Amino acid sequence: MSIVLQSPSRKASRVNAFIGRAFSRPSFVIGFAILALSIALALFPQLLAPYDPLAFDLSAIQQGPSLAHPFGTDNFGRDVLSRVIWAYRVDMQMAFFATIFALLIGVTVGAFVGYYGGIADTIFGRCVDAIITFPFLVLVIAIVAVLGPGLINMYVAITAVNWVYYARLTRAEIMAQKSNDYAAAGRVLGYSDRRIIFRHLLPNAISPIIVYWMTDMALAILLGSSLGYLGLGAQPPAAEWGVLIAEGRNFLLTAWWMSLMPGIAIVLTGLGFSLVGDALADLLRPKGR
Amino acid sequence: MSQIEKETVLDIRRLRTEFGLTERPLVAVDDVSFQVKAGEILGLVGESGSGKSITLRSILGIVRPRGRVKGEILWKGRDLVPLDEAALRRVRGREIAMIFQEPMSSLNPLLTVGLQISENLAAHTDLDAKARKARAVELLDMVGIPAARDRLGDYPHEFSGGMRQRVMIAIALASNPQLLLADEPTTALDVTIQDQILRLIQALSRDLGMAVILVTHDMGVVAETCDRVAVMYGGRLCETGPTADVIGDARHPYSLGLLRSIPRDVAPRTLLYSIPGAPPSLNALPAGCAFTARCPVAGPECRDVRPNLGTAGKNRQVACHHREQALIHFSAREAAQ
Amino acid sequence: MPSLSYLMARLLQIIPTFLLVMIFIFLFVRLLPGDPAIAMAEAKATDAQLEQIRHNLGLDQPLPIQFLLFVTNTLTGDLGRSIMLKAPVTEIILTRLPTTIFLALYSVLLAICLAGPLAFLAAARVNSALDVTIRSVFQVGLSMPVFYIGLVLLTVLAAQLRWFPVGGYGTSFLDNLHHLMLPALSVALYTSAIILRNLRASLIEVLDADYVQFARAKGLSPHIVMTRHVLRNALVSTVTLLGLSIGNLMSGTLVTETVFAVPGVGRLMLEAIFARDYPLIQGLTLTFAVLVSVVFLLTDIVQSWLDPRLRQS
């Protein structure tokens, strides 16, 4: 069955029903709430952070968590909570930019390769085999090493590796959809290949890709903060969770909160993405399976 | 068939199997009673979800631990319901064996056929490895697998569907059971293969004096194979009796409908009868007769009052408040055709 | 056992993949912006010195010749000289590699010990309070980056409680187990979350499978049903998953070696990157690729040993 053949009103009511079912799941509601809060923090840190994240306060150096500073202060007296909140901006950006280009490139390549098959598919398969032979992080840091550290270079490096996973997934989905009757019907009607791929096959193949994207955004935050921690991602003094954790690394005994508090934000955001992703996977799974 | 009255080996009384929460259980089998005599083939007929497979699995206790079995299952006079797992294991496979619907998924794909037969022998006999192997060859031979000796080391995927079903029967027969529970043994097979397997089961029952409960949704299979038949609907029995009687002269509206839906001696291009509606789900069964919602002759009491399985002629039982109306209704239809 | 022809076919498959891997590594060093010679040389290097470095690296030859040189050198075990450590790359890697392999095996073992029993408990009572608790805890584990788990363990178990050393490498096997406990555990917590998820799902599927019901109907003892029928079948997909997560595992050891100052190839990779030591980076990248390929190959062999359906090549 093809979604594009349905009238808009039916489609709208189906979307409404879908949203209703999603919000009846506690795990989705929790995940959605976490993500909504994360986006709000990323968009309006100046309204929500209690202090200026860069303001030194030499009278309050490395103070433990208190009512005034729930996450404590760092070695310059900066409020850790405010720095964690400002870091949402960078880390949520990372989740998006480290994945979206990989998704666009991967889906396009995967769709064409899956649809046409043949020699392109064989070459693609070999390339995938070769790329997954490198551990993800090793390949990314090797590319970053050549390009130089920094956020933009990190996006380029992650995208250069990550698109393969989207392409592989899309290829498999398109191959499965291609054998359906409606695809043959489209060819009989004389539709162009591009129209069949993007208007008919892809809309039906997109659910698992969206689900994967959700988990991948969580992975991007893990990867991005790891690179930040290793000194290859976002650069200090930018507030990024991995960078914040690295800054506190030398004070684990005297000021453990400097390193441990930013991690809470990583775990929470990652949890938000994976809860929403899992719920979507459940909801979008074809019935009867 | 011999005229001597054979002894009853299995006597099931008020069997009830439920799943889920104790406060709000899903009752899959409800108040089911029937007997099986030695060497007899009983057909248990019904649509999917009617509780026939669960009935079989309840007998062996393999619905546990998720399912709760109540009532009495008297196997040669001994009640199986209160037995613990260890005691039940000495009955399973040894005295009562079972074969499943999907020969594809019921054999372990990772183990050789030889091992899957001999593990049964190891569990229930004192045979040593060599004797077990010899017996395994003998069993495969008996169920008609060519070159049995060479196939012991083969894996299930190296057999065809029909051959796999034969393998499963060979495994079940390993320790000479007196009762074989066959859960839709032919449903997944081609029609010609179906026939071969049914004849094999019949022959084995006759030669080994083994009783069989054959679960199926196919009245044709019953007509061909079974001595007696019990019709199930919504977890309950509707009608039992000798095969010829039930098929020739069904009394329950559901059995009548089921039989009408088989094309027999009808003119070409006549519309086949089909029972209106769909089987009820287990959590939406009425207090009364389970068939009420789809019954053409249901009265107001049917929904609330459970009809008892009452005697109706020699060796026959029917559970219906409106037997006469049912007969009239369906004979009228027959005449109209 | 898988047949010899299957193994040969699988080995032959590696060759084209590896040729591509070599091309990638080769192009990666040569085609990306920046002159490796400049990157390698001291800041105040003269043009003549740069020329010398280029010549030493064979960079003054045409690309195809360079590639051929690269392949033959690699095959003879010559990966060049490290600029940072002033020693042959092969030698450096071979002294550091055992530590990383030890660490990786250690963490896989810990992950299995952790996830295995819990997956059984969760699968035995699906959606019970215990199942939900186990799944939630591991879901949180999945959202924690390895370096963060490492720092938490370091702070609590090493710095505060002093149960384990804060870093380094031991001198004997038992000493190693003690020294590498925390770095291995950091990677294991993440890996075990992946294993638990998969093993639980496949156990639920297998426990419900017809052949397990059939095995019970045959009157087999619970022990035999469990080991011969349930475990073996559930293992197939878990082995696949473990094999496929070798890349993750290597990424994890790289991070954990950095956090705990373990002298393995992961930490070496990072040092090489900061020092822009191209021959070492190139050699290490190749080493990681070889490690992953070997594990993929082993996975295939174990899989085809477990599952006869995969033996026909």
Residue type, A286: P
With respect to residue C108, please indicate whether it lies within any of the assigned structural domains. Answer: yes
Q: Is C268 helix (H, G, I), strand (E, B) or coil?
A: helix
Determine contact, residues B10/B33, Cβ cutoff 8 Å. no
Residues of C in contact with B60 (CB under 8 A): 216-217
Instruction: Name B13's bridge partners.
Output: B72
With respect to residue C133, please indicate whether it lies within any of the assigned structural domains. Answer: yes
Instruction: Name A250's bridge partners.
Output: none
pLDDT score at B272: 65
Give chain A's contact residues with C (Cβ, < 8 Å).
Answer: 126-127, 129-139, 141-147, 218, 222, 225-226, 229-232, 242, 245, 249, 252-253, 256, 259-260, 263, 266-271, 274-275
Average pLDDT (C15-29) is 83
Last residue of a domain, one of C75, C109, C138: C75
Residue type, C31: L
Q: Which residue of B has its CA nearest to C310?
A: B110
Please name the member of B92, B105, B110 whose beta carbon is closest to the beta carbon of C308. Answer: B110
Residue type, C33: P
CB atoms under 10 Å from CB of C235, counted, come to 19
Instruction: Please check whether residues C199 and C273 belong to one and the same domain.
Output: yes
Q: Which residue has the tokens 């389970």?
A: B290
Q: Which residue has the tokens 């475990």?
A: C231
Q: Mark which residues 105-164 of B lie under 8 Å from C by CB.
A: 105-111, 119-120, 123-124, 155, 157
Q: Which residue of B has its CA nearest to C213?
A: B62
Picking from A226, A227, A254, A268 by the largest number of C CB atoms within 10 A of its own CB, the best residue to mutate is A226
With respect to residue C262, please indicate whether it lies within any of the assigned structural domains. Answer: yes
Closest CA to A223 of A277, A131, A161, A147: A161
With respect to residue C88, please indicate whether it lies within any of the assigned structural domains. Answer: no
Strands (E), C95-141: none
Instruction: Name B75's bridge partners.
Output: B10, B78
With respect to residue C85, please indicate whether it lies within any of the assigned structural domains. Answer: no
Whether B57 and chain C come into contact, CB under 8 Å, resolves to: yes
Structure tokens at B127: 């045979």
Q: How confident is the model at residue C1 (pLDDT cuts 50, 70, 90)?
A: low
* ipTM of model: 0.84
- For chain B, give the mean pLDDT: 85
Instruction: Please check whether residues C116 and C243 belong to one and the same domain.
Output: yes
Last residue of a domain, one of C48, C75, C102: C75
Residue type, A90: V
**pLDDT tens-digit profile, chain A (289 residues):** 344 444 455 667 777 888 888 888 888 899 999 999 999 988 988 887 788 877 777 777 777 788 778 888 887 878 888 888 888 999 999 999 999 999 999 999 998 898 888 888 888 888 888 888 888 888 888 888 778 888 898 999 999 999 999 999 999 888 888 777 777 777 777 778 888 888 778 887 888 898 899 989 999 999 999 999 998 888 877 789 999 898 888 888 788 888 888 999 999 999 999 889 888 888 877 653 3
Residue A28: its H or E element: helix A26-43
Q: Residue C114 pLDDT > 80, yes or no?
A: yes
DSSP-derived pairing of the beta strands B68-75 and B8-19 = antiparallel
Q: Which residue has the tokens 């043009």?
A: C47
DSSP annotation of A251 reads G
What is the Cα C144 distance to its own chain's centre? 18
End-to-end CA distance of chain A: 17
Flag whether B touches C (3+ CB pairs, 8 A cutoff).
Answer: yes
Instruction: Please check whether residues C48 and C134 belong to one and the same domain.
Output: no
Question: Considering its fold, how many domains does chain C have in total?
Answer: 2
Residues of B in contact with C221 (CB under 8 A): 89, 123
Q: Which residues lie below 8 Å from residue A180, measured CB to CB, with a gap of 6+?
A: A204
Q: Which residues lie below 8 Å from residue B201, measured CB to CB, with a gap of 6+?
A: B41, B169, B180, B182, B185, B212, B214, B225
Fold classification of B2-95+177-250 is Rossmann fold (3.40.50)
Q: Is A138 helix (H, G, I), strand (E, B) or coil?
A: helix
Picking from B90, B92, B110, B118 by the largest number of C CB atoms within 10 A of its own CB, the best residue to mutate is B110
Determine contact, residues A222/C194, Cβ cutoff 8 Å. no
Residues of B in contact with C228 (CB under 8 A): 108, 111, 119
C50 lies in which domain range?
4-75
pLDDT score at B134: 92
- The rounded distance, in Å, linking the Cα atoms of C90 and C96 is 10
Contact B107 C214 (CB under 8 A): yes
Structure tokens at C27: 């192009």
pLDDT digits (tens, 9 = 90+) for C133-186: 998 888 888 889 999 999 988 888 887 788 888 777 777 888 888 888 899 999
Contact C216 B157 (CB under 8 A): no
With respect to residue C255, please indicate whether it lies within any of the assigned structural domains. Answer: yes
Structure tokens at B160: 């065809």
What is the Cα C29 distance to its own chain's centre? 23
pLDDT digits (tens, 9 = 90+) for C239-267: 888 888 888 899 999 999 998 889 999 99
Contact A146 C33 (CB under 8 A): yes
Determine contact, residues A223/A158, Cβ cutoff 8 Å. yes
* Residue numbers in chain B where pLDDT is lower than 70: 1-5, 263-272, 333-337
- The rounded distance, in Å, linking the Cα atoms of A69 and A51 is 9
- The CATH number assigned to the domain holding C144 equals 1.10.3720.10
Flag whether A touches B (3+ CB pairs, 8 A cutoff).
Answer: no
Closest CA to C266 of C279, C242, C283, C284: C284
Closest CA to C186 of C142, C143, C140, C153: C153
Instruction: Please check whether residues C261 and C136 belong to one and the same domain.
Output: yes
Measure C239 CA to nearest chain B CA, in Å.
15
The domains located in chain A, with CATH, are 22-44+73-284 (1.10.3720.10)
3-state helix, strand, coil in chain A (%, to 5): 75, 0, 25
Instruction: Please check whether residues C53 and C98 belong to one and the same domain.
Output: no
Please name the member of A129, A142, A231 whose beta carbon is closest to the beta carbon of C285. Answer: A142
pLDDT score at A193: 80
Contact C251 A232 (CB under 8 A): no
Picking from C143, C281, C295 by the largest number of A CB atoms within 10 A of its own CB, the best residue to mutate is C143
pLDDT digits (tens, 9 = 90+) for B52-72: 889 999 999 888 778 899 999
Phi/psi of residue B205, nearest 5 degrees: -60, -45
Residue B238: its H or E element: strand B236-242
pLDDT score at A222: 92
Closest CA to B34 of B228, B184, B284, B194: B228
- The rounded distance, in Å, linking the Cα atoms of C73 and C67 is 10
Determine contact, residues A157/C293, Cβ cutoff 8 Å. no
- The rounded distance, in Å, linking the Cα atoms of B18 and B30 is 8
Picking from C204, C216, C233, C311 by the largest number of B CB atoms within 10 A of its own CB, the best residue to mutate is C216
End-to-end CA distance of chain C: 13
Contact C211 B108 (CB under 8 A): yes
Q: Residue C313 pLDDT > 60, yes or no?
A: no
The residue ranges of every structural domain in chain B are 2-95+177-250
With respect to residue C295, please indicate whether it lies within any of the assigned structural domains. Answer: yes
| Angle made by CA atoms B137, B139, B140, in degrees to the nearest 5 | 65
Measure C301 CA to nearest chain B CA, in Å.
15
Q: How far is CA B229 from CA B11, B35, B133, in A?
A: 15, 11, 37
Determine contact, residues C292/C246, Cβ cutoff 8 Å. yes
With respect to residue C49, please indicate whether it lies within any of the assigned structural domains. Answer: yes
Q: Is B210 helix (H, G, I), strand (E, B) or coil?
A: coil
- The rounded distance, in Å, linking the Cα atoms of A137 and C256 is 12
Residue type, C313: S
CA dihedral B131, B137, B140, B146 (to 10 degrees): 180
- The rounded distance, in Å, linking the Cα atoms of A150 and C270 is 16
Helix C246-259 × helix C278-306 angle, to 10°: 140
